[in-house]
Chain A
Amino acid sequence: MMRRTIPTLIAVALLGFYLFPIYWMYATSFKTLTEAVQYPPTLWPSEPQFHHAEVFQKFSVARYFVNSIVITLGVTAITVVVGTGTAYALALRRNLFVDLILFTILLLQALPASLMVTPLFVLFNMAGLLNTPRFAVVLAVAAKSLPFFIVICRTAFLQIPRELRDAALVDGNSNVGVFFNIALPLARNSIVVTAVLIAIQTMGEYVYSRSFIAKIELQPLTLGLSNFIGAQQTDWIGIMTFASILVTPILIVFIFLQRRIISGLTAGALK
């Protein structure tokens, strides 16, 4: 009995220590200004204050939120629509051509956004796309998430046995029918989870939004946070409150889908 509970306690302690910054963000967001900067600091807010509603209203968080959602939905939609079929086609057979494409996709996945942002900015500027900056961000971020999505969903399609596809062909499907009637329903869960993962990442996207979206009215939450810091400098309570508004929905989704997100990630990274 002891042999099994002691490691659990150690693990909980490690996890608590590791996730302390997230706790500290929430703890600070509930403190009064004097308590926040007092030395020594208090680990638990002595008179919990609820700043979230005030910050939400005063700093037009709703508008930032809508922009984040618009960008996230756009990126996720493009990624899923364009990427799902490719992931399927690349899972059908293994040959030199497919290997070459997979290699290219892995390379594209590795290209840092902060390095690709310069040429994309100039190209989008020439194409007039910066007049619709949220759309420009969607296009750029989708190009970054598409390779990741393809790699992970491909492993889901690889798990569908070839004989199932053969049976469907003999039963009277065309290749198109096999994809829509057999492969898609069977890979549906993995596709949804990967899409959620892409959405979570897009909610936290910063580089492209910062570089493409000059108009405050069109900026997403991450830029809202950075604007807030610009205006309020050392209002740490406000900053932590704003940060927690951005982080909380992501954490909630993560906790609900933890197991599925983890198995998706591990399948994609090393296969």
Chain B
Amino acid sequence: MSSFLSVRDLRVHFPTQDGIVKATDGLSFDLERGQTLGIVGESGSGKSVSTSTILGLHRKTRAMVSGEILLEDEDLLKISDEEMRRKRGRDVAMIFQDPLSAMHPYYSVGNQIVEAYRVHNDVSKKAARTRAIEMLDRVGIPQPDRRVDDYPHQFSGGMRQRAMIAMGLVNNPSLLIADEPTTALDVTVQAQILDLLQDLQKEFNSAIMIITHDLGVVAEMADDVLVMYAGKAVEYGPCREILTHPEMPYTWGLLSSVPEVTGDVDAKLVPIPGSPPSLLSPPKGCAFNPRCAHRDKVPGDRCRTELPELVPGSRGPHHLKRCHLADPDQIYATEILPEIAPDLAALEQNAQTQTPAEQGTDTGVEDK
């Protein structure tokens, strides 16, 4: 049985005057209904390009797209523009980062929702308007029957984002793509929006892809996590697993460069040195190698010459990583975790001292 959404070896390359920009380079993942996939990465890592390709938003003359995007076994890259247009907004919908620029300033919020609804449903204007009010109410906008005639600028940031969500969900899409849905919002509003997305997901059993650079948002929302760097997936697996036992130095870097509201105040932030590479000429070998603190642990300079495959590491078949490091778990447990979360490290330590007792003696003897 294949997945609800299955992306296979997706490549999106943009030919430019300076060369080919490999914005997305061989991306594969699966997503089931009712599940949430978090895609994490810095600006320019290819997360938005990948998802807008799923919506068919790239003109074929401008972008070279290859691979497969199977939505319920139908390849979205093979269907005609006309068919894609019918799917877009009905089966697959998107919530954009900045609702002020994603909404039309000349049309009332209600009109825009009505338009999205009537494109896919043969209903009267009146029925569509009722539906729009119902959706605004559903996403928690007060007095929806009055606000439906307001223009986007009359809404606050959080309300605009709610209206965007209402617009996205008006046709009950089975796949919802949220591109940085809360980045422009304050934390209390962000919490409201994330709660709303989760409630709606339960109700409609939709699949959600949430693109973000905030690992905290991923931790709260996602079932699976895909970490992207320079157009490629560098780590992919279940959310808890990736956040507790990351195996790729870039993920370590993301975790250790973000301060937290809990935990040790004096823990020093460990930034990732340098900046993300240009996608025109990504570094040879592993794209992360110029910024990686651990590349010297790999013998034979392989990080600089040979691109690692995205393969399961030592933690089972579901946790994929793209890294040459032989013992990432060991490095994470002994070097990274004590730095970023001494309390967690201590917990791990305790857990480990208990297990060797039954396994044998090799590590247990050291701490008597």
Task: Report if A and B associate in a common complex.
Answer: no
Q: Name A's B-contacting residues (CB within 8 A).
A: none
